[in-house]
Structure 1
Amino acid sequence: MKVLRSILEMRQALQSYRTDSSSIGLVPTMGALHEGHLSLLSQSLQNNQVTVCSIFVNPIQFNNPEDLKKYPRDEKKDFELLEKAGCDMVFVPSSHEMYQDDSAAIKMNFGEIENVLEGKFRPGHFSGVGVVVSKLFNIVQPDKAYFGQKDLQQLAVIKQMVKALNFPIEVHAVPIMREDNGLAMSSRNQRLNEEERETASVLYKSMLLMKSALNEGSSIETAKQKATEMLAKNNNIDLEYMELVDADTMEIFENTTSKNALSICAAAYISGVRIIDNLYIH
C-alpha cells in the first residue's frame, strides 16, 4: 500500500493507471476508521482496478472548534486496517497541503438543502464539505466515489454538486453499518464508553418505533411523538431534530404519500457527543 502525502505525489502515482484506462475508485474519509469505512473500501476494491482512500480531517467543515479538536485520530491504526483490507493507496495530506492556495476561503452554496437539518444546526458545514470533496475529486480524478448513507444529507449535497459541476464521476451510496445494538457506526462513537453507546442506540430504536407507527397508518406528528417519548425516558439523550424527509432533496414532509424515497433523519447529543442517523421508510 502506497502512502502519499502531497498532491503532486498522488497525481504522479495514478498516471500509469490513467494510461492503462484503469478504473479508479475513491473512498474519502476523515480517518478513525471502522467497519463502515471498510464496507466502502470493499465496494471500491470489487469495482475498480485501483482504490484510493483519503484521510483528511477537514477543518473548514467544522463550525465548532471544540468538535474539530476532539475529533478522533489514529493514523497508525488506520493504515493497518487499510493495508489488511487491500487498499492500494492512501492519500493523507496536511491542512497546509490542501489549503496552501487560500482555497479555504472559497464558499459553496447549495440552496435550500443546506438550510435544513444538518445545515440548519451546522452553518457552513456543507460549504466546507463541498470544497474539500471538489478538491479531492480534482486531485484523484476517480471514476467512482463511495460514500456512506449514514451521512444522508451529505450524500444528497455531493450528488447535487457532481451534477451541477459536471464531474464525470459515479457516486455510489453504501448502506449504514450498525453495531450489535443498532447504533450506526461512526468515528465519533470512539468518544463514547460502553454505557453511553448503549444509551446512544436508543436513537435508532426510537426511529424504528416511528417507522413502525407510520407504516401502521399513524400521522407523522403522532409517530414522531411516540419516538420522542421513548427518547425522553433517558435523561442522557438530548434530541436535536427528528424529521421525515425526501431522501434526495432533504425536503421535510408533512405526510407519507410521496412516491419518492423517504427517510427519517435524526441527530442527538449523548454525553456531549453528537450523533446522527437515518432510516428509510420506503
Structure 2
Amino acid sequence: MQILPTAARLQAYTEQARQIGKRVGLVPTMGALHDGHLQLVQAARAACDEVIVSIFVNPTQFNNAEDFRLYPRVPDADAAMLGPAGCTALFVPSVEEMYPQPTVLRFDFGALERVMEGAHRPGHFNGVATVVSKLFHLARPHHAYFGQKDWQQVAIIRQLAADLSFDLEIVACPTIREADGLAMSSRNRRLDPAARAAAPRLHQVLAAAAGQVRQGVAPAQVRAAAEESLRPDPLITLEYVEVADAQTLQPLSEYMPGRAVVLCLAAHLGGVRLIDNVVVED
C-alpha cells in the first residue's frame, strides 16, 4: 500500500493507473476506521484494480468547532487496517494541501439539503460537496464508495456528480451494525459506557417505526410514536426523527404507491451526536 501525502502524488498515481487501463475506486473517509469502512474498501476491491482510500478530517463540513476538535484521529491504526482489506493507496493530505487558500465556492442543493442534516447543520453539505468535488477531481475514480448510514449525504453526492458531470459511478453500501444494532460510526468511540449502553435504542426505535410504516400507520403518527418512545430516556436527546421519501428526502404527510420511505433520526448521547436510518421499500 502506497502512502500519498500530496494532491500531486495522488494525481500522478491515478493517471498512471488509468493510462494502463486499470479501474480506480475511491473510498473517501475521515479516518477512525471501523468495519463499515472496511466493507467499502472490500466492495471497491471486488470491482476495481486500484483502491484509493482518503483520510481527511474536513474542517469545512463541521459547523461545531468542538466536534471538529474531538473527532477521533488514529492514523497509525487506520493504516494498519487498510492494507489487508485491499487498499492499494492511502491519500492523507493536510488541511493546507486540500485548502491552499480559503474556499469561497458555495453549493446549493435545494430541497435536498433543507431538511434533516442540512436544516440542523448549516453549511455542512457545502463542506461535504467541496471536499468530495476536490477528491473526485484529483483521483478521477471510476467508482466512489459511500455508506448508506449517511443516507442524505449519499443523495447530495449523487446530485453533485450528476450536476457537475463527473464521469464515475456512486456506489452506496449497506449500513454495518454492531451485534446490538447500533450503526457503526467513528463517533461511537467517544461514547462513555452508559451512553454506549443506551445507543442501540436508536435503531430499535427506527425498526419499530419501519414496522408501523409497513402497516400503513400515518407518517405523523409514526413520528410521534418514535419521539414518545425516546423521550423518557435521560441519556438520549432527540434532535429530529423524520419519515421521508427515500429519493427526494421530503417529509411525508401520506405514503405514495411505488415509493420507498426512509426513516431518519439524529440524537445526542452524552455529548456525542449520532445519526441512523432505515429504508422501507414499497
* Range into which the TM-score falls when normalised by the shorter chain: over 0.9
Name which of structure 1's ranges 221-230 and 81-90 shifts more when overlaid on structure 2: 221-230
2 CA distance for matches of 1:268 and 1:249?
22
Task: Give the C-alpha shift of residue 249 in structure 1.
Answer: 1.8
CA contact (8 A) 1:149 1:174 kept: yes
User: Aligned to 2:90, what secondary structure does the other structure show?
Assistant: strand
SS at match of 2:149: coil
Q: Which residue of 2 aligns with 1:277?
A: 276
Structure 2 counterparts to residues 18-37 of structure 1, below 5 A:
18-37=18-37
Residue aligning to 1:241: 240
Aligned to 1:129: 128
Alpha-carbon shift at residue 260 of structure 1 (Å):
2.1
Q: Which deviations, in whole Å up to 9, do the C-alpha atoms of 1:25-72 show, x marking residues without a partner?
A: 000000000000000001000000110000000000001111100100
Shift in Å, 1:108: 1.1
Q: What is the CA–CA distance in structure 2 between the aligned matches of 1:131 and 1:11, rounded to whole Å? A: 18
1:258 CA drift (Å): 4.1
Could you say which residue in structure 1 is the equivalent of 2:69?
A: 69
Amino acid at match of 2:121: R
Q: Distance in 1 between matches of 2:65 and 2:280?
A: 35
Q: Deviations over 1:244-277 (max 9, x none)?
A: 1122221111112242221101100001110000
The within-5 A match list for 1:47-196 is 47-102=47-102, 104-196=103-195
Structure 2 stretches lacking a partner, 5+ long: none
The RMSD of aligned alpha carbons is 1.1
The residue type equivalent to 1:213 in the other structure is: Q
Asked whether the equivalents of residues 156 and 247 of structure 1 are also in contact (C-alpha less than 8 Å), the reply is: no
Equivalent-residue separation in structure 1 for 2:194 and 2:234 (angstroms)? 13
Counterpart of 1:180 in structure 2: which amino acid? A
In structure 1, runs of 5+ residues without a counterpart are: none
Give the match for residue 251 of structure 1.
250
State the match for 1:261 in structure 2. 260
1:29–1:55: 8 Å Cα contact kept in structure 2? Answer: yes
Matched AA of 2:30: M
Matched position secondary structure for 2:176: coil
Normalization by structure 2: what TM-score?
A: 0.97
The amino acid of 1:184's aligned partner reads A
Q: Secondary structure at the match of 1:184?
A: coil
Please report how far the alpha carbon of residue 230 of structure 1 lies from its aligned counterpart in structure 2 after TM superposition.
1.7
The CA distance in 2 between the partners of 1:222 and 1:245, in whole Å, is 13
TM-superposed CA distance for 1:239, in Å, is: 0.6
Q: What is the count of residue pairs matched by the alignment?
A: 281
Alignment of 1:195-210 (within 5 A): 195-210=194-209
